[in-house]
Chain A
Amino acid sequence: MNIYQDIILDHYHHPHNQGKINKQDRSITVNNPLCGDKIEMTVNFEKNKVKEIKFQGEGCVISTASASMLTDYAKNKSKQELKKLDSKFIIKMLGIDLGMNRIKCAVLPLEALQKLLV
């Protein structure tokens, strides 16, 4: 199955939650030096839940779409809930078959999110 599905490309061309929260509770930058992908993620919490979350950076279609969808998903979820997410969840969320080389691109935003929750 082609990984460049319309929904993936749509998130790539028009990413949700793109940018940076100026007064953020926490921020983190993760990168994949192999391909040069870099994501800065910022978050605001309300009690134990994600209230607002944004990302910016450079990335391929897969990492950008993944960040766009993941930040959508994360809103209003509790830290405990989000800590449970793993690469299987990301693959399911994207709904595409990823080769072993592209999984790294897909899970980079998850790595950022997990670090924000610690």
Chain B
Amino acid sequence: MIDLKNIKNEFPIFQHQPNLVYLDSTATSLKPKIVIDKIREYYEEYSANVFRGIYPMSEKATIEFEETRNVVSKFINANKSEEIVFTRNATGSLNLLAYSLGRKIVEADDEIVTTIMEHHSNFVPWQVLANETGGAFKVIDIDEEGYLDLGVDNIKYQISNIKNTNQKLKILEQIITKKTKILTLTYVSNVLGTINPVKEIIKEAKKINPKIIVIVDAAQAVPHLKIDVQDLGADFIVFSSHKMLGPTGVGVLWGKEKILQEIYPFMYGGDMIDEVYIDRSTYKDPPHKFEAGTPAIGEIISFKEAINFLDKIGMGNIRKHERKITDLAINRLIDTFGQSIKIYGPKNIEDRGGIISFSFDKFHPHDIAQILADEGICVRAGHHCAMPLHTRLSVPATVRASFYVYNDEKDVVKLVTGLKKVRKILS
């Protein structure tokens, strides 16, 4: 068990920057010492390539590398570790799917469905795929509070076809049809914080079209919520190590083994090959089929330490902690600034992750972030790689504060104090 009270001691960055108020874990998380130590261990003690050498050092690296696959597999309750593919990041996983799965199954007149609250990485690859294949690109709208605009018993959404950007052509119809090949959506919005009822949506979607492939962008979910892929019912989920206390350069693609076998490889080259002849090649089975070239070995090896660390805190405790801090922050912000602060996303804290995006008076988000930065407070300003969502909200940019295991009440107090200073300087 790791106690959240003294958890800052586990993160060396707080020794270097004792006054750091880090409220940007949605962009990337801080790293505990145990993760950093493990990377150093690889580079200092057995920095060989994997799957190659017969010598002991390479075997050690390979065992450590594959052990991470097992740890990831257990963490999300995958059927077997062969369903875990390592990529560069969640973006890499989604692009892999758009290529390997998308180009395999989407044809002209097919439909791809996503939502207006997606990160660009789960929007643009599908938009491009639809344009290339002549398929329809349907986008599920949100309601005024930032929930997906779902019908009551049926999946009826506000949709827009990307080929007709004319707003008047927006029509309401049943968005999931027999022609829908792919439904891809985020578990937790990186701007609104909305926790989507993904399990229920998948169930409904598969009722309408049992052949539909459902992809879940879980980059903002796996670090914060207990995820069980077998219970969820998706065909693929993607997430990133660096948002869950792990190193950068490591992404995960989980997929059902059968589909992983059927779809195209993504990149060709070393490690993914079975046999190569002048005129043809055969490929390894998943996951190696998708892991061409030397991977981020040290980073993947140390990623398991991040997962073990999260496990020791307990995902339930993490969720509880974030819910408490988020609730506190929302209440303090509203109590202090009233009408001049506008917080986007669900009001019900049960439906919101540890993410608060807001507008403050008429102040520009960049100025707010800059003045907070001068106070040692790290927040994000901009459209957070979700431009269609910001267009939908009719704001070019917002300020985003997000919370993780190392944030506490003091951080919330400093944020409020910082915003008072913003008001003083800019009014």
Contact = CB atoms under 8 A, between A and B. Distances in A.
A109 interface: no
Interface stretch (B31-39, B175-183, B363-371): B363-371
B365 A35 contact: yes
A18 B396 CA distance: 21
A60 interface: yes
Interface in A1-22: 2-4, 9, 12
Interface string A35-54: 11100000000000000000
A61 interface: yes
A24 to B, nearest CB: 25
Interface string B140-169: 000000000000000000000000000000
A59 B374 contact: no
Contacts of B381: 35
A4 B364 contact: no
B383 interface: yes
B396 A36 contact: yes
Nearest to B390: A36
The interface centre, meaning the residue of A3, A4, A59, A60 with most chain B CB atoms within 10 A of its CB, is: A60
B382 interface: yes
Contacts of B395: 36
A25 B396 CA distance: 30
Interface string B226-263: 00000000000000000000000000000000000000
A56 B112 CA distance: 41
B387 interface: yes
A59 B362 CA distance: 10
A34 B396 CA distance: 8
B370 A102 contact: yes
B90 interface: no
A2 B367 contact: no
A104 B94 CA distance: 30
B397 A35 contact: yes
B383 A61 contact: no
Interface residues of A, number: 18
B383 A34 contact: yes
Given A59-B364, A61-B426, A36 B397 contact: yes
B425 interface: yes
A10 B383 CA distance: 28
Nearest to A38: B396
A8 to B, nearest CB: 10
Contacts of B425: 4, 9
A39 to B, nearest CB: 13
A91 B378 CA distance: 24
Nearest to A105: B366
B366 to A, nearest CB: 5
Contact of B366 (A9, A12, A102): A102
B322 to A, nearest CB: 28
Interface string B358-393: 000000111100110010000001110001001000
Given A59-B364, A61-B367, A105-B366, A35 B374 contact: no
Interface string A61-72: 110000000000
B361 to A, nearest CB: 13
Given A9-B425, A33-B387, A35-B397, A4 B371 contact: yes
Contacts of B387: 33
B223 to A, nearest CB: 25
A35 B371 CA distance: 16
Given A2-B374, A4-B425, A34 B364 contact: no
A60 B396 CA distance: 12
A105 B370 CA distance: 12
A35 B382 contact: yes
Contacts of A4: 367, 370-371, 425-426
Contacts of B383: 33-34, 36
Contacts of B382: 34-35
Contact of B396 (A12, A35, A62): A35
B391 to A, nearest CB: 10
A35 B380 CA distance: 11
A3 B397 CA distance: 21
Contacts of B364: 35, 37, 58-61
B365 A3 contact: no
A105 B395 CA distance: 17
5 contacts: A3-B370, A4-B367, A35-B366, A35-B396, A36-B383
In order of increasing CB-CB distance, the 7 nearest A-B pairs are A36-B396, A60-B364, A60-B366, A61-B367, A36-B397, A60-B367, A35-B397
Given A33-B387, A34-B382, 17 more contacts: A4-B370, A4-B371, A4-B425, A12-B426, A33-B396, A34-B397, A35-B364, A35-B382, A36-B383, A36-B390, A37-B364, A58-B364, A59-B364, A60-B366, A61-B426, A62-B366, A102-B370
